[in-house]
């Protein structure tokens, strides 16, 4: 049985023992009749179950979303922004409850769970301002008596496939921008954290119903990879935004590309911090340790590799090992703990296999891994964070393991360190710790990091919503959240107006009848 406090959180968000898994907003549709459950990695207890979306229910979702979009796109963008503003205010009221559900369902610390909801609030604030700034562009025509400009229109239906590690924030990064852009959204949450998706749908429906927003602007579909395949192959969904593994992203990208659709892919990371001789060791330790063990190493921006200058390698290694001895592992709802569980036992298996590969390839494990057992660890998902000395070319180092495994590497010159940092297939987040201006600027130059995110004197983990989030290479090239990421949710149109009494052609071409 769940504790009374946990039950009250679920009840306050509308979570029941059995939940319909398909929704067009206020309408919850009958699904396939098959159910799947959500169990917490915190204690192994079942939170609830959801009905799998059927193909018939999916088709009803698409029809409703298309109909809703035809009206929603006619609403002035600032009015759409007002709806998002109200959603942000509602999230503020439910921040503790939703943050607790996120932490309990997927295992991240309570601070991180509430922080994830705060990201939702922040992107709503950003989108409200954006709703009055969906700017186009004017330009001079080469033809007399002509005017040219560009404008942006709503794209249509946006399919969102999200991952378990950020079960609500990434959805909101997409929807807040898509909604003010005039789009309708269809969301497939991770089957490993689906109840958080149910909670979000019930919250946004309150706002939509109070404002007579057309049905179908926020839709929910639940199930396994088959539901994602329906969306990816569906020409009626012009944009698919997918967050997850590189393997998943390749399949989505191939399916969407085959129909000449648009995809926004935010995939794996293999993120490194370069620690230069002039680095401030105290701030470096905080950034490195949190980056490696935060969310139990299950962030796409988690720190996987520390590339340390040879002159301070032993000092940094010693302090990292000392810091790891202080990490408290346990129930993430207890804010005294630094690290909670992995998402499930499959993730534990991947962690154990990675440790075997490290040793097989010749690495030296400085802090041994272990699956924790006993009181408080009954779920079998709690593991010890690992530190290992390796070479960058090891295949296991080249791969992303979604677990708290930190690799230490040594370098001699900054060019060598940058080559090591860039010498992986992924290109999401990167950082350098240095107080040397020249080193910092080189790292940020075209000769430096090839990642979508490059930081100086902060770690790789986490991002503010004001900047576009995403990476290069196998990370997928997509950009979510801030800056001009809104443009992917809209279609650009070039307009030329002739206000003269003649019809001159471009490039001076003559055509007379």
Tokens of 481: 């959240």
Name beta bridge partners: 54.
none
**3-state SS assignment for residue 329:** strand
Catalytic pick from 116, 215, 266, 480?
266
Distance CA 134, CA 126 (A): 12
Alpha helices in 294-427 (DSSP H): 313-324, 345-360, 395-398, 414-422
Place of tokens 């922040």: 122
Catalytic pick from 185, 296, 300, 381?
300
* 381 catalytic per annotation: no
Distance CA 201, CA 90 (A): 12
For 117-192, list the strands marked E by DSSP: 137-140, 146-154, 157-161, 184-188
Question: What is 15-45 written as a DSSP string?
Answer: --SEE--EESSS-EE---S-EEEEE-TTT--
* CB-based contacts of 424, cutoff 8 Å, min separation 6: 270, 392, 397, 398
Q: CA-based Rg of the chain, rounded to a whole angstrom? A: 24
79 phi and psi angles, rounded to 5 deg: -70, -40
143 phi and psi angles, rounded to 5 deg: -100, 135
* 266 catalytic per annotation: yes
Cβ burial, residue 1 (10 Å; 0-12/13-18/19+): exposed
Long-range contacts of 110-113 (CB under 8 A, 24+ apart): 110/332, 110/333, 110/334, 110/335, 111/335, 112/294, 112/295, 112/332, 113/332
Catalytically annotated residues: 266, 300
């Amino acid at each position: 049985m769940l504790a009374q406090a946990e039950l009250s959180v679920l009840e306050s968000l509308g979570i029941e023992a059995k939940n319909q898994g398909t929704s067009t907003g206020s309408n919850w549709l009958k699904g396939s009749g098959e159910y799947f459950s959500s169990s917490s990695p915190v204690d192994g207890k079942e939170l609830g179950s959801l009905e799998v979306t059927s193909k018939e229910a999916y088709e009803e979702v698409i029809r409703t979303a298309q109909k809703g979009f035809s009206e929603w796109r006619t609403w002035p963008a600032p009015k759409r922004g007002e709806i998002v503003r109200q959603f942000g205010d509602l999230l503020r009221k439910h921040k503790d409850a939703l943050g607790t559900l996120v932490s309990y369902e997927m295992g991240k610390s309570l601070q991180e769970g509430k922080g994830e909801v705060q990201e939702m609030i922040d992107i709503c604030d950003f989108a409200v301002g954006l709703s009055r700034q969906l700017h186009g562009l004017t330009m001079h025509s080469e033809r007399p008596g002509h005017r040219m400009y560009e404008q942006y229109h709503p794209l249509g239906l946006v399919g969102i496939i999200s991952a378990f590690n950020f079960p609500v924030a990434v959805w909101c990064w997409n929807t807040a921008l898509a909604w003010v852009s005039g789009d309708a959204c269809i969301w497939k949450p991770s089957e490993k954290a689906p109840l958080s998706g149910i909670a979000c749908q019930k919250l946004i429906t309150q706002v939509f119903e109070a404002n007579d927003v057309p049905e179908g602007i926020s839709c929910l579909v639940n199930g396994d990879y088959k539901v994602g395949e329906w969306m990816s192959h569906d020409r009626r969904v012009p944009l698919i935004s997918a967050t997850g593994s590189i393997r998943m992203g390749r399949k989505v990208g191939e399916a969407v590309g085959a129909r000449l659709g648009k995809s926004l892919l935010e995939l794996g990371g293999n993120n490194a911090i370069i620690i230069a001789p002039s680095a401030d060791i105290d701030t470096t330790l905080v950034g490195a340790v949190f980056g490696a063990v935060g969310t139990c190493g299950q962030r796409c921006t988690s720190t996987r590799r520390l590339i340390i200058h040879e002159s301070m390698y032993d000092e940094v290694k010693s302090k990292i090992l000392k810091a790891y001895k202080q990490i408290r592992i346990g129930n993430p709802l207890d804010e005294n703990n630094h690290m909670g569980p992995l998402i499930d036992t499959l993730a534990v298996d991947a962690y154990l296999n990675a440790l075997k590969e490290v040793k097989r390839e010749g690495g030296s494990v400085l802090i041994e891994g272990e699956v924790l057992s006993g009181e408080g660890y009954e779920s079998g998902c709690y593991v010890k964070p690992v530190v290992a000395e390796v070479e960058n070319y090891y295949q296991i180092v080249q791969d992303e393991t979604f677990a708290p495994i930190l690799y230490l590497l040594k370098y001699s010159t900054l060019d060598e360190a940058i080559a090591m940092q860039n010498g992986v297939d992924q290109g999401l987040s990167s950082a350098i710790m240095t107080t040397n201006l020249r080193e910092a600027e080189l790292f940020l130059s075209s000769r430096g990091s090839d990642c979508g995110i490059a930081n100086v004197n902060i770690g790789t983990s986490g991002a503010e919503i004001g900047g576009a989030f995403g990476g290069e290479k196998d990370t997928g090239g997509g950009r979510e959240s801030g800056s001009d990421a809104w443009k992917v949710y809209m279609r650009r149109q070039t307009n030329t107006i002739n206000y003269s009494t003649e019809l001159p052609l471009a490039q001076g071409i003559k055509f007379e009848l």
